Amino acid sequence: MFKDENISIIKFFKICLSYIPNFLIQIICVFVIVSILEMNKLFAYFLSAIIGVPITYLFLLLFTFKKRK
Q: What is the reported pTM?
A: 0.64
- Residue ranges covered by each domain of the chain: 17-64
* Predicted local confidence at residue 64, as pLDDT: 74
Which amino acid, residue 51? I
Alpha helices for 1-69 (secondary structure H): 9-18, 20-31, 41-59
Taking 70 as the threshold, does the pLDDT of residue 69 lie above it?
Answer: no
Residues 11-65 have pLDDT tens digits of 888 888 878 888 888 899 999 999 999 999 999 999 988 988 888 888 888 877 7
Q: Determine the Cα–Cα distance for residues 69 and 28; give it in Å rounded to an integer.
A: 37
